[in-house]
Every structure is written in structure tokens, then in C-alpha cells.
């Protein structure tokens, strides 16, 4: 374990930022990033699940038998997802209505299971916490950025605030499904260009 | 063999722990969730059904039991008299339960208005039960003691085209509310009189 805790945290923000570098968990990335608010809400929910499940998986990594480890991870993840769902219903109902089915679908998000299997099952609690937090924040930033691009171009607003005044003709294509693919593709392209320099 | 026991034990403990945690969180948030649903889902429906009420029907609500089932009754005041109530019921539609809020005029036991609250019907077809004011307007003024039926079943309601099952569910739920209301009317009146 040569890497420091900070390195484990920081790698999630750029070197292994989930949707762009790991190219994992694309379903919510494409589906909920119509607005910045949705993107950040989804990111925050995923971060919570990621951090909690990473901690618990790491704590139990010596107890969980190898043969049923996936089942155990899914139970842990599903529990925290349901916690998020209930809490979100109780305290952020409008956001819950917008994210809808994608909150329960965090259970099958490959990022969460991927980090549990690839990282938390092999590392100590503090490292797993840093990893979960880093990846989670990276995911949130990525969703927020994609949401910002789509909302600004497709709706002329940022976080619900109108940017260009009434004369702006919104580029509706960007808030529809194809716009998500194009937006994600362009962002990947920019990331690769920056990387290759 | 030892391995097998360990697997069973670990999974059992884990699921037990998870069940306990979820149950306690569910209990802890149930009340808050109900408030949020009242505010964001049922609130607008109740407001439009009991339009022009002098009080806040959401604040003036009480629960009433019919056997095992519990209903929330929202009271609306018109002309200084608490003479309207809104009750919600559910019936199975095409995609799941359809929640229908029915406003009742207690003076002549007629339907004030009907509104769909929650549903999982097909967008563009069944969802029009909620979005198309013309459909629910058909219920207005109907006597609560008569069952509501779509014209296909010999009733008076024109079903939404392409959404017969949803239309039937709305009729069913409205009829259910009527039955519950007639059955519990004395109790409801008693509750209202003790309210203020």
C-alpha cells in the first residue's frame, strides 16, 4: 500500500473520475442530467451509498465468506439505497419525484458494486472511506458538469436561474436523450485531449 | 460443512441487521413523508377539489377507521359551515394503484369534484385521467349513493379513449369513497362537530 490516503481520495476526482475514466454507471449519468440540480442530487445520493457501503464492506471484509460476497455486498448496498430513498422522500420530496426510479437503481450501479469489490474488499477502513468519498465526489462533479452543459444549452438556465434573457432560443435537443449521449461524448473527448497533452 | 454454516450465519446476520435498520428508519421518517406527500402530491389536488374553502383543508384533517382500513378526511368550510369533505381511495388501474381524491358536499351527498392524486398509468393514455380536466369533470354533481361506471359497463361516465382500465379504476375508487362516506357519515359528522 504505497499510496497515501490523500492520493486515494484525489484519484476519484480526475485520474479515475467514474463516468469519464472508468466509464461506469452510465445509466444514471445519461438519464438524470437534464439539469444541474438533478445531477448533483443524484451524485450526492450515490456518494452517500458509496461511502457507507465502502466502510461496511471494508469492516466486514474478513468476515464475509468469499463465495457469498456479492450477495453480501448487494444486501449492504441495497440497505443504504433504501435509507437514501426514505430520507429523500422525507426531506427533499420534489427532488425525489424528479429522480424517481433512478434512486432505487443505485443498487445496480456498477460504480458502487465495483468499488466494493475492487477496493473496499481489499483495503482498510480509512482507505476505503477516502476512496468512496473521492469517487463519489468525482461522480457528483461529473454529473453536475454534464447537467450544467445540458441545462445551459437546452434550457438556457443554470440551477433554475435564467442566463440569457427571453431572446434565447433553447437548444431543446440537449435536454432530450440524444443530447445526453452527445454531451457525454464531447466531455470524454475534451478529457482525452487534456490528458494527451 | 464449516464453510456452509459460516455463509448462512453471515448472510442471516447481515439481512437481520439490514431489516432492523430499515424498519427503524421507516418508522422515523413515515410521518415526515406523509407531510411531504400532503404538501406536494395531495395538497394541490385537495386545494382544487375544495376550491374556495375558507379554511386550510390540509390542516383540518383527521383519520377515521373503517374496519382495518384507515382513511384521511379533509374538511372544507364554505359559508362558515364545515359542509364538505375530501376522502382518498385507491383502485387498481393498468399500471398499479390509482389514487383518487373525492370531494363530497355533505348537504346533499353529491360529488363536488374528483381528482387523481397518484398513479403509474401509461403516459399519454391513462395519465390523462390526471391531466385532462374534462374527464374528472364528468363526476361533478353525481349522487354519491349511486355507483359510478363507465358507459361500457352501463354507467354514465365516458371512458378516456385507449384507457378504459384507468377510467374504470377511477370510477371504482370514487364509488368506494362514496360507500365509505355513507357508512361513516355519522362518525364524520361527530368528528367535525368536535373539531372546533
**Alpha-carbon span B127 to B101, nearest angstrom:** 15
**Alpha-carbon span A109 to B113, nearest angstrom:** 43
Q: Which residues of B touch A71 (CB under 8 A)?
A: 11
- The pLDDT tens digits for A88-135 are 988 888 888 888 788 888 888 888 888 888 888 888 899 999 999 999
Cα separations in angstroms, A122 against A42, A51, A65, A129 = 27, 15, 13, 13
- Among A72, A87, A93, beta carbon nearest to B10: A72
What count of other Cβ atoms lies within 10 Å of the Cβ of residue A95?
18
Residue A7 neighbours by CB under 8 Å, 6+ apart: none
Chain B residues interacting with chain A (CB cutoff of 8 angstroms): 3, 6-7, 10-11, 14-15, 18, 21-22, 25-26, 29, 32-33, 36-37, 39-40
Say what percent of chain A tops pLDDT 90.
Answer: 22
Helices (H) and strands (E) in chain B, counts: 5, 5
Q: Which residues of B touch A87 (CB under 8 A)?
A: 25, 29
pTM: 0.73
Confidence of residue A1 (pLDDT cuts 50, 70, 90): very low
Q: Which residues of B touch A75 (CB under 8 A)?
A: 11, 14-15, 18
Convert A123-154 to b/e letters by CB count within 10 Å (16 or more is b).
beeebbbbbbbbbbbbbbbbbbbbbbbbbbbb
**Global ipTM:** 0.74
Quick one: DSSP state of residue A68? G
Domain count, chain A: 1
Quick one: DSSP state of residue A22? I
Domain hosting A168: range is 5-196
- The pLDDT tens digits for B128-185 are 888 888 888 888 888 888 888 888 888 888 888 888 899 999 999 999 988 888 888 8
What pLDDT score does B193 carry? 80
- The pLDDT tens digits for B102-129 are 988 888 888 888 888 888 888 888 888 8
For residues B144 and B105, the answer to whether their CB atoms sit within 8 Å is no
Amino acid at each position: 500500500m504505497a499510496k497515501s490516503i490523500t492520493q486515494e481520495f484525489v484519484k476519484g476526482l480526475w485520474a479515475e473520475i467514474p463516468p469519464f475514466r472508468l466509464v461506469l454507471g452510465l445509466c444514471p449519468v445519461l438519464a438524470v442530467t437534464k439539469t444541474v440540480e438533478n445531477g448533483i442530487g443524484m451524485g450526492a445520493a450515490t456518494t452517500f451509498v458509496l461511502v457507507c457501503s465502502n466502510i461496511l464492506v471494508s469492516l466486514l471484509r474478513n468476515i464475509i465468506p468469499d463465495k457469498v460476497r456479492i450477495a453480501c455486498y448487494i444486501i449492504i448496498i441495497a440497505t443504504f439505497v433504501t435509507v437514501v430513498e426514505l430520507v429523500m422522500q422525507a426531506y427533499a420530496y420534489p427532488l425525489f419525484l424528479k429522480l424517481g426510479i433512478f434512486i432505487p437503481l443505485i443498487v445496480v450501479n456498477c460504480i458502487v458494486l465495483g468499488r466494493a469489490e475492487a477496493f473496499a474488499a481489499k483495503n482498510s477502513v480509512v482507505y476505503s472511506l477516502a476512496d468512496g468519498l473521492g469517487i463519489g465526489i468525482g461522480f457528483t462533479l461529473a454529473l453536475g458538469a454534464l447537467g450544467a452543459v445540458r441545462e445551459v444549452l437546452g434550457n438556457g438556465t443554470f440551477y433554475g436561474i435564467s442566463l440569457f434573457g427571453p431572446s434565447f432560443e433553447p437548444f431543446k435537443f440537449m435536454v432530450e436523450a440524444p443530447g445526453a449521449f452527445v454531451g457525454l461524448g464531447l466531455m470524454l473527448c475534451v478529457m482525452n485531449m487534456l490528458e494527451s497533452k | 460443512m464449516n464453510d456452509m454454516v459460516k455463509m448462512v450465519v453471515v448472510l442471516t446476520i447481515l439481512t437481520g441487521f439490514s431489516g432492523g435498520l430499515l424498519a427503524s428508519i421507516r418508522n422515523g421518517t413515515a410521518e415526515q413523508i406523509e407531510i411531504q406527500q400532503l404538501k406536494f402530491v395531495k395538497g394541490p389536488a385537495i386545494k382544487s377539489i375544495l376550491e374556495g374553502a375558507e379554511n386550510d383543508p390540509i390542516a383540518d384533517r383527521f383519520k377515521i377507521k373503517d374496519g382495518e382500513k384507515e382513511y384521511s378526511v379533509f374538511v372544507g368550510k364554505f359559508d362558515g359551515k364545515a359542509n364538505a369533505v375530501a376522502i382518498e381511495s385507491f383502485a387498481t388501474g393498468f399500471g398499479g394503484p390509482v389514487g383518487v381524491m373525492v370531494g363530497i358536499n355533505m348537504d346533499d351527498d353529491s360529488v363536488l369534484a374528483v381528482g387523481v392524486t397518484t398513479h403509474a398509468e401509461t403516459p399519454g393514455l391513462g395519465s390523462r385521467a390526471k391531466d385532462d380536466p374534462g374527464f374528472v369533470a364528468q363526476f361533478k354533481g353525481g349522487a354519491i349513493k349511486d355507483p359510478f361506471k363507465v358507459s361500457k359497463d352501463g354507467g354514465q361516465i365516458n371512458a378516456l379513449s385507449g384507457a378504459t382500465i384507468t377510467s374504470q379504476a377511477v370510477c371504482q375508487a370514487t364509488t368506494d369513497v362514496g360507500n365509505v362516506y355513507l357508512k361513516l357519515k355519522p362518525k364524520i359528522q361527530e368528528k367535525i362537530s368536535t373539531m372546533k
